Amino acid sequence: MNLAELRMRILHRVYFRRLISREAELAARPGAVHASESSPRRFEIVLEGLKREPSGPPAAKDAMRHLLGSMWGIYRSLQSVDSNPTQPRTRMPAAELAELEEYARSVGVDDIGYARLSETLVFQGKAVLYPNAIVLTMEMDKRRIDTSPSRESFVAVHETYHNLGDAANRIAGYLRRRGYSAHAGHPLMGLALYPPLAQKAGLGWRGVHGLLITPRFGPRVRLAAVFTSIENLPIDPEKASEHQWIEEYCNLCRRCAKECPPQAILDRPQERDGGLVTCVETDACFPYFFDHYGCSICIRVCPFQEQDYSVLKEHLSRSQERTTTSVAVRV
């Protein structure tokens, strides 16, 4: 390890300690939404990465450089809650909501959904300010993701973390200027589990790899949320079911599991208390992930990031029809 890399590691450790301290302060605020007994524990990817020495390509050095922007964004998201109004507005008129969505897209957000955060999705020992969630997606550059695992794909992932984190902070600031209280949930080191939250918001459905598969970009997205005092967000519990067919397609496909180098994607997701599932064996995934530019092979090979959503749905429908006809003939 050279001197520059050592300095970067020390800087990241300092940032990490500050972030954990700010998270604890947030959790101590009255009325914050805390984890339930069945909530998962957050995998501290930054801290675990700092503990390791790479045995493959020099991903750690790149990670440290690109993580700095995201870590500053995380700190901003936690520090800025001190600027919330003391008596925030709780109802947003439809016209203001339309303006909010327009603003979100102007800062780079691709899709927006709304959901109520359950305590089960908050990580153990963490908290968020409100259960009312504005859920955000941002596409990762396809050309670079298609080279994964590579330095290019690695940079694309961390650029998106940085840019989406910045967008979430901007949206939180936008809401505060209009009298609402907001807490930006950064895509990196989030305080809640985003894929099931985004699924509840109707933005897609969880795939075999545990990532959210979206209609526009498949799993080639990063997720974030803004937790807010707005109590009348247009939450539609039925919207998520539109994408439920993805689960059946994934179970038939399983290309990501077949092409995962460390074979980290489980044959069957492990069901947890509270309805959550574990799709990936972290102890198998992380060492390869760390040593191979953050991997992303499961994203690259997913049919949903290559083919049109409606075409894949039609393929599944035809396959089901052929199966039904074959069974009927045999009978």
Render pLDDT for 208-218 as a digit per residue (tens, 0 to 9): 999 999 999 99
**Pair 255, 301: CB distance under 8 Å:** yes
**Pair 202, 120: CB distance under 8 Å:** no
pTM over 0.85: yes
Res. 171: pLDDT tops 60? yes
Specify the 3-state DSSP secondary structure of 266.
Answer: strand
Distances (CA, A) of 321 to 253, 289, 314: 17, 39, 10
The pLDDT, as a whole number, for residue 327 is 42
The percentage of residues in the chain with a pLDDT greater than 70, rounded to a whole number, is 89
**Pair 52, 60: CB distance under 8 Å:** yes
> Angle at the Cα of 12 (from 8 to 15), degrees rounded to 5?
140
Q: How many residues does the chain have?
A: 331
Q: What is the pLDDT of residues 270-287, one digit of tens each?
A: 888 777 899 999 999 999
The model's confidence at residue 73, banded by pLDDT at 50, 70 and 90, is: very high
The pLDDT, as a whole number, for residue 329 is 42
The model's confidence at residue 328, banded by pLDDT at 50, 70 and 90, is: very low
Q: Which two tokens stand for residue 231?
A: 């109590």
